[in-house]
Amino acid sequence: MDSLEAQHRKIIIILVIVILAGGVYWMLKHFHPSLFLGEPDFVVETEIAPPPPTPPPPTAKSEVAVHVTGAVKSPGVYYLSAGARVHEAIEKAGGRTDLADIHSLNLAAKIRDGQQIDVPMIRQIPDVKPAAPSSSAAQEYTIPTSPGSSVTPQPSMRQSAPSDGARININTATLQELQTLRGIGPAMARRIIEYRQTAGGFSTVDDLTNVKGIGEKTLAKIRDKITAY
């Protein structure tokens, strides 16, 4: 009897252990703390930094400053809208004077900030009157052909051409004036004027070599005939 009871106890203990083990296994498999605590599981969130602001694109200048000089009614510095033309700058300066030579300017060219627009004047050539004969001038006489005839002595009308030592200002010279220089034809004269308008003028006569087609040799031929101011 004792042995039978001992076997029964062993069987009961084994069953209890099996039941407990099964219960623990089931709880571990199906247990969720949120079902009992009423709180959501922890979720790790990573903050994403916003992208740096994009700088605005640089805005173009809305106006430019130009210095209008020469044959205009009110020379000075004027402000015009970007993209304005040369003729607008001249009108801003009160318009051209009666002595202005606008044929050497490109009135439709766009102006740029800081540009100097110099309106040249018409070069007036003074009238050259014949010089009065001096007391020491040689007199021409006609030899009488018959007795009693006389001829009034006439002074010689020969006189030397006046010398012109004035230099041509390459910053204001017209197309025709530039062509009087040695080696400067119509095409080269136009290039000089175009460069003058684009670059805002020549600082020195050496800047003339910046014009396409003019080298040191050409400059040497005309250096003593030109000036820049």
49: in domain: no
Same domain, 173 and 227: yes
Sequence-distant (6+) residues with CB within 8 A of 64 are 79, 80, 81, 82, 84, 111, 112, 113, 114, 115
Domain that residue 75 falls in: 61-125
Listed range (20-24, 39-43, 100-104) with the worst mean pLDDT: 39-43
Q: How confident is the model at residue 155 (pLDDT cuts 50, 70, 90)?
A: very low
pLDDT at res. 5: 77
Question: What is the CATH number for 94?
Answer: 3.10.20.600
174: in domain: yes
Q: How confident is the model at residue 164 (pLDDT cuts 50, 70, 90)?
A: very low
- The one-letter code for the residue type at 207 is D
pLDDT digit string (tens) for 89-112?
A: 999 999 999 888 888 788 988 999
Share of the chain above pLDDT 90, in %: 38
CB 74 within 8 A of CB 93: yes
162: in domain: no
CB 85 within 8 A of CB 107: yes
Measure Cα distances from 111 to 6, 43, 61, 162, 196 in Å: 118, 65, 13, 41, 13
Output phi, psi for 226, to 5 deg.
Answer: -125, 165
DSSP-derived letter for residue 132 is P
Number of domains observed in the structure of the chain? 2
224 pLDDT more than 80: yes
Question: What is the CATH number for 222?
Answer: 1.10.150.320
pTM exceeding the 0.85 threshold for the entire prediction: no
Beta strands in the chain (DSSP E): 63-70, 76-81, 115-119, 139-140, 154-155, 168-169, 226-227
